[in-house]
Every structure is written in C-alpha cells, then in structure tokens.
C-alpha cells in the first residue's frame, strides 16, 4: 500500500497544472467552523477534502485522531453543512486535488491524499518535520496557511 | 525558546468567551453539586498523574497542558495552548459552556469517563491557587 502510494506520488509530480490550483485555498469562512475547528490545529480549508470525508469526520468526532473533539448536535450539523458545501467536490465540481482517490475511498487526512504525498514526500526535511511536530501542523511550514496561502 | 512560546500563547487569538462565570463561581457550583469541600491537592494529583482508562495517546492532562499551569502547553498537533492558571490567563474559567465542553472532551480522552463535579471543583481550586 505504502509502495503504491509513493508510485502514484512520483507520477503526480510530473503534472504541472496541479501546483497552481493548490497554492491558494480559501480559508474557512464560517465563524462557527472557524472557532470550533481551530482549537487544536488550524481550521483546515474545506476545499482540501471531498464531501464524504467531511461527513465521516463530523460523524466520528468523539474519537477524532485519538482525541475526543465532540460537539453538540446543532453545532456539528451546522459545521458539516458548511464543510460539505465548500468541499473539493461540492456541486459536482471535479478537483485535481482528488486525483488518485478512488470514489470508494474516504480519506480522513489531507496529509494522506496522493497530491499531498506528491508535494511533501521527499520535499520536507526530517529537521523541518521535527520542528513542526506533525505534518498536520501546516502553519509551521506555510506561514500564510491560515490566510489560504500554501506557496511556501 | 520556552519564553517565546509563552508569549505567543498569550497572544493567541481566543474565541469570543461569554464571560458569564468565574473560577470562584464554578468552584462554588461544582462544590454544591458534589456536596464536599473542594480539595486542591486532589485536583493537583489528578491533573499531574498518568491514567490508564482513556485513549492511548492522551495518558494525562499534562500530555497537552503544561505540568506547570502558569506556562503554556502544546496540543499534539504542535499548536500552543495558553496557560491554565487564571492568575496568568485571566480568560480561563470565565465561560461555562466552554469549560463544560472541554471537561467533557478531555476527561473522556484521558480518563475514559466524565469527570465528577467533585473532580472539577478540585482541579479548578488547584489551578486558581497557583
């Protein structure tokens, strides 16, 4: 599995159109989603994951990557509506960011997506990763992440 | 470095807090629910100890909060968490819904069960004494 993914990643690096699309990603604009989903990490932009991923994440908050991040039902429903409404595939849109993700796959991490692996595997030094603490800590390496800029 | 981290934590944008309660009010509220006087030493012991009942990645409150609550902690994602002691972080324990939400989540993550009213009173009374 690991192996297949790295191969896909290598193939993806060759796709130039890809980078432009991924340099800017509109930050979370719903105030409730922004407040509730930025307490433990930056609020990840909705456009990085497909609708089914956000729905799964919102349905499993009580065991969220090893922590309880649960919310009351109303707040959770509102956030899910916002996230799915602005997801990578919202409104039937197709996004290059979903390249290599099977329709039957529900990725829970942006950092597991094939485009992400293509951009980061081998590009990120062990030292930088150690300083960031986790590959999920986008803002440690992308200073503009919370404003939607992932250029550098 | 430690110093820089503390400063950053203080500057972190906090969500708008309701300011509808205070550490003293909460200690009184939870104390009344439990019927026993708050015990800061028991709160300290609970906050600092390692537990086995919860999720494997979060054995202690100090997995994320500093063992010295006048200092900043760090979430597992690398994000800084403001100190927990109200003396240095006056916005702590001033919004009842926020406090309840986080006791709910964090006691479940660390202990695998909700904290009792007694435990909440103990913990806040310890943090408020620092």
Q: Which tens digits make up the pLDDT trace of A26-61?
A: 999 999 999 999 999 999 999 999 999 999 999 999
Asked if pLDDT for residue B10 goes beyond 60, the answer is: no
Q: Would an 8 Å CB–CB cutoff place B1 in contact with chain A?
A: no
Q: Does B76 contact A134 at a Cβ distance shorter than 8 Å?
A: yes
Q: Is B97 within 8 Å of chain A by CB?
A: no
Query: Which residues face B66 on adjacent strands?
Result: none
Q: Answer yes or no: is B15 within a domain.
A: no
- Crossing angle of helices A51-59 and A73-85, in 10° steps, is 170
pLDDT of A102 reads 93
User: Which residues of chain B are within 8 Å of residue A132 when distances are taken between CB atoms?
Assistant: 78
Residue in chain A nearest B79 by alpha carbon? A41
Check CB contact of B58 with chain A, cutoff 8 Å: yes
Give the model's pLDDT for residue B77.
87
Is residue B4 over pLDDT 50?
Answer: no
Closest chain A C-alpha to B105 CA, distance in angstroms: 5
B15: confidence class by pLDDT, cuts 50, 70, 90: low
Q: Select the residue from A30, A33, A35, A39 to test the B interface by mutation, using most B Cβ atoms within 10 A.
A: A39
User: Cβ A67–B55 below 8 Å, yes or no?
Assistant: yes
Indicate the DSSP class of residue B52.
Answer: S
Alpha-carbon distance of A33 to B78, in angstroms, equals 20
Q: Which helix (H) or strand (E) holds A36?
A: helix A31-36
Closest CA to B18 of A30, A81, A35, A33: A35
Q: Pick the closest to residue A75 from A21, A119, A128, A35 (CA basis).
A: A35
pLDDT for B127 equals: 98
Residue B75 belongs to some domain of the structure: yes
Comparing C-alpha atoms, which of B64, B108, B74 is closest to residue A68?
A: B108
> For residue B96, what are the domain limits?
21-129
The reported pLDDT for the residue numbered A51 is 97
pLDDT tens figures, B91-125 = 999 999 999 999 999 999 999 999 999 999 999 99
pLDDT attached to residue A21? 52
Q: What is the pLDDT along chain A (152 residues), one digit of tens a residue?
A: 333 333 344 444 444 344 455 589 999 999 999 999 999 999 999 999 999 999 999 999 999 999 999 999 999 999 999 999 999 999 988 888 999 999 999 999 999 999 999 999 999 999 999 989 899 999 999 999 999 999 86
- Smallest CA-to-CA distance from B114 within B62, B67, B53 is with B53
Q: Is A36 exposed, middle or buried (0-12, 13-18, 19+ CB in 10 A)?
A: buried
Q: Which parts of B1-130 fold into alpha helices (H)?
A: 2-11, 23-34, 40-48, 96-111, 117-127
Q: What is the ipTM of this complex?
A: 0.81
Residue B33 lies in a domain: yes
Nearest to B32 by CA among B121, B99, B125, B123: B121
Number of domains in chain B: 1
pLDDT at A75: 97
Set of chain B residues whose Cβ sits within 8 Å of the Cβ of A75: none
Residue of A nearest to B81 (CA): A40
Q: Is residue B94 part of a domain?
A: yes
Residues B26-30: what's their mean pLDDT?
97
Distance from CA of A67 to the nearest CA of B (A): 6
- Between the CA atoms of B22, B24, B30 and B31, what dihedral angle is there, to the nearest 10 degrees? -170
B15, B77, B105: residue with CB nearest A35: B15
Residue B47 lies inside a defined structural domain of this protein: yes
The DSSP code sequence of A21-87 is HHHB-PPP--HHHHHHTTSSS----GGGS-HHHHHHHHHTGGGBTTB-----HHHHHHHHHHHHHTS
**Two tokens at A38?**
């930025």
More confident residue, B79 or B13: B79
Average of pLDDT values for B52-70?
95
Instruction: Determine whether the interchain pair A134/B106 forms a contact, defined as Cβ–Cβ distance below 8 Å.
Output: no
| CATH number assigned to the domain comprising residue B78 | 1.10.760.10
């Amino acid at each position: 599995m690991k192996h297949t993914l790295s191969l896909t990643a290598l193939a993806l690096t060759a796709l130039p159109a890809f980078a432009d699309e991924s340099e800017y990603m509109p930050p979370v604009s719903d105030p409730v989603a922004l407040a509730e989903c930025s307490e433990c990490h930056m609020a990840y932009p909705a456009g990085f994951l497909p609708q089914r991923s956000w729905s799964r994440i919102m349905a499993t908050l009580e065991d969220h990557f090893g922590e309880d991040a649960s919310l009351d039902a109303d707040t959770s429903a509102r956030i899910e509506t916002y996230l799915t409404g602005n997801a990578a595939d919202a409104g039937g849109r197709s996004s290059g960011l979903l390249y290599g993700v099977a329709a039957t796959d529900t990725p829970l991490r942006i950092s597991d997506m094939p485009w992400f692996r293509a951009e980061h595997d081998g590009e990120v030094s062990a030292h930088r990763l150690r300083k960031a603490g986790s590959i999920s800590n986008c803002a440690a390496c992308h200073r503009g992440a919370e404003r939607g800029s992932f250029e550098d | 470095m430690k110093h820089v981290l503390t400063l950053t934590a203080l500057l972190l944008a906090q969500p708008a807090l309701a300011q509808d309660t205070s550490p003293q009010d909460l200690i009184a509220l939870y104390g009344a629910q439990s019927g026993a006087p708050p015990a800061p030493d028991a709160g300290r012991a609970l906050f600092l100890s390692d537990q086995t009942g919860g999720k494997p990645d979060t054995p202690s409150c100090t997995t994320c909060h500093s063992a010295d609550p006048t200092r900043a902690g760090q979430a597992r994602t690398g994000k800084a968490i403001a100190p927990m002691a109200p003396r240095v972080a006056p916005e702590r324990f001033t919004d009842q819904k926020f406090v309840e939400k986080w006791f709910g989540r964090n006691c479940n993550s660390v202990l695998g069960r909700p904290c009792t009213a007694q435990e909440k009173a103990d913990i806040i009374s310890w943090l408020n004494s620092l």
